[in-house]
Chain A
């Protein structure tokens, strides 16, 4: 009998040791902290109730946030979070509307230090146009900090802040210009997120972030020359 207890005790010690090791020393670290060199604009994206119009996280309680205007009943059956908020542009006296659709995907592996949140940002800059940003965020850094306090039922307080974007384009999010002055433009984006408070009962609080967008220069139009025609090289040729 004592051999069985010894075996079980050893099993628990081994499993716990492995879990703690993976939690704090995963085989791979956080995403590289390279940021966009020259963002065209940055948006302050916050979960603060003051700028949130609607927020819902049905099926994703670990992503719920504090605004009282959540409408969880309206999104029953969807394991995805939606938030509509105002996002001031940095250095410009302008405010954008941001529709953010988020869901966790199963491509992350905690053993490699990855836990992915898929984000779709529908960014509306009034008077300028619309953009869609898709990004994959590695939120493992948050999960690692919050796991033990939340499992113990405690309220976590602190200040975690890091660049979370891990893809889908070589560590950056993908930007697609949809309308207005952004029509057909492409580019990259990255997101830095912060968190200051979390509990099982209240969800995440004090969430904020900066979404930076860098647009590529439009590709120059290629002059077409048809058979029998020669391209004009000077005004005199015209």
Chain B
């Protein structure tokens, strides 16, 4: 009986260690990335944001007082930290419309038309975009990325058709440039 008890202890320790080593403590849902190779080089990946459905927060700055705050019960504290632009937090979708993460868009931090997007996909990493806002479109260069988006460079554009932001990124791996 003693022997079976000790065998049990060893098996228990082994199982616990094996689980601690191999079992994923956190498993983020991963959606297949919808990247396409461009004819002229580079890889295109599109993301989208549907307004109304995907708005987590809209925070207008001091020059955008007509823009409604979202969510409506949010206490907006523009008087404490005035900036001219608009800050948004959205759900982020892939090209097929599946929610894959979160995005933040901040416009007008330093000048009226500068714009920054951060696309955060928990299962893959983060892409940071910087550019300028021109009418209903934002355009610029990819500033950098984290994890699977690290070492990517390229450019991007985000177009708004009144209902949807469509963000197209064209990336080149570091060695391709």
Contact = CB atoms under 8 A, between A and B. Distances in A.
Nearest to B84: A126
Contact of B146 (A79, A97, A110, A168): A168
Given A9-B5, A95-B80, A17 B126 contact: no
Interface of B is mostly: mixed
B75 A69 contact: yes
A101 B55 contact: no
A10 B8 contact: yes
Contacts of A130: 106, 109-110, 114, 116
Nearest to A53: B74
A36 interface: no
Given A79-B122, A111-B21, A6 B56 contact: no
A167 to B, nearest CB: 10
Interface string A14-49: 111111001000000000000000000000000000
A90 interface: no
A122 B25 contact: no
Interface of B: 1-2, 4-17, 20-21, 24-29, 54-57, 59, 71, 73-77, 80-83, 87, 89, 91-92, 98-99, 101-102, 104, 106, 109-111, 114, 116, 118, 120, 122, 126, 128, 130, 143-144, 146-147
Interface of A: 2-4, 6-19, 22, 51, 53-54, 56, 68-69, 71, 74-80, 82, 84, 86, 94-97, 99, 101, 103-106, 108-111, 115, 118, 120, 122, 124, 126-130, 132, 134, 168, 174, 176, 178-181, 183
